[in-house]
Amino acid sequence: MAARRRKRQISPFVVVVVVLAVVGTVGLIALQFQSATRPAASPPPPVDFPTGLTPDGYPYKGNPQAKVVIEEFADFQCPYCGRYAVEVDPKLDAKYVKTGQVYVVFRYFPFIGPESFRAAEAAACAAEQGKFWEYQYVVFANQRGENRGWFTDSRLTDFARTVGADVDRFQTCLTSGRYSQFIARSADQSRQRGIRSTPTVVINGRVFEGLYDFGAYDGYIAQLLGQG
């Protein structure tokens, strides 16, 4: 007599467990998505030093009469520029900019894609309100890859709100395209000066191409100041 085959039935308990697992996974994905689209939770470091715009319209910080001058060429989509802004720059600020020993000028050098240009325009709009250094930190701290549609006007406006800028004024500036030609010209001028990649940091004429650790910049600045 042939043996009977029993059909394996799924227990109601198993069904409930599977459903709960799926719901939990969806919830976790949604939570991760929300956190990924939210501006940085931690505020930018305090800007407790002189800031402003150079005569040709570039953001600066520190003492214009300082012995050491740093020019930073950066693209807002560049991940190594993001690391420089978050990991290196605050240390330089604390040790040299705040003490009046270093003067820093930021040069817009967008080249990775359209979002690079748009983020640079947004940063220039924030600079109108004296919020450039806070804004650039938040943008760099919230990178999510290159050319992925991340730096939308809406998100760039959220960043402006995060740093306490006048949002209406910021949006008017950004939608007007007021700085589009200025940013394009900045990129062209950077190329004419021989800048090939980002970040590029020029300290009293010496070119640091690519990202270095804090010690490399610190050692050279100390040497220029007679502290090395």
pLDDT at residue 159, rounded to an integer: 97
Q: Are strands 59-62 and 51-53 parallel, antiparallel or unpaired?
A: antiparallel
Q: Report how far Cα 80 is from the mean position of its chain's Cα atoms.
A: 10
Q: What is the pLDDT of residues 51-95, one digit of tens each?
A: 999 999 999 999 999 999 999 999 999 999 999 999 999 999 999
Residue 43: per-residue pLDDT: 78
Superfamily of domain 49-224: Glutaredoxin (3.40.30.10)
Identify the pLDDT of residue 127.
Answer: 98
In this prediction, the residues of the chain whose per-residue pLDDT falls under 70 are 1-42, 228
Q: In terms of DSSP bridges, do strands 102-108 and 206-209 run parallel, antiparallel, or are they unpaired?
A: unpaired
| pTM, rounded to two decimals | 0.82
Q: Check residue 42 and give its pLDDT.
A: 63
Q: Helix 114-128 vs helix 167-176: angle between axes, to the nearest 10 degrees?
A: 130
Q: Crossing angle of helices 180-192/114-128, nearest 10°?
A: 110
* Measured distance CA(202)–CA(58) in Å, rounded: 15
> What's the CA gap between 160 and 40, in Å, rounded?
12
What residues does each domain of the chain span? Answer: 49-224
Tell me how far CA of residue 63 lies from CA of 60, 77, 225, in angstroms: 9, 28, 14
* Model pLDDT for residues 34-46, shown as the tens digit of each residue: 434 444 446 788 9
Question: If residue 71 lies in a helix (H) or strand (E), which one and from where to where?
Answer: strand 68-74
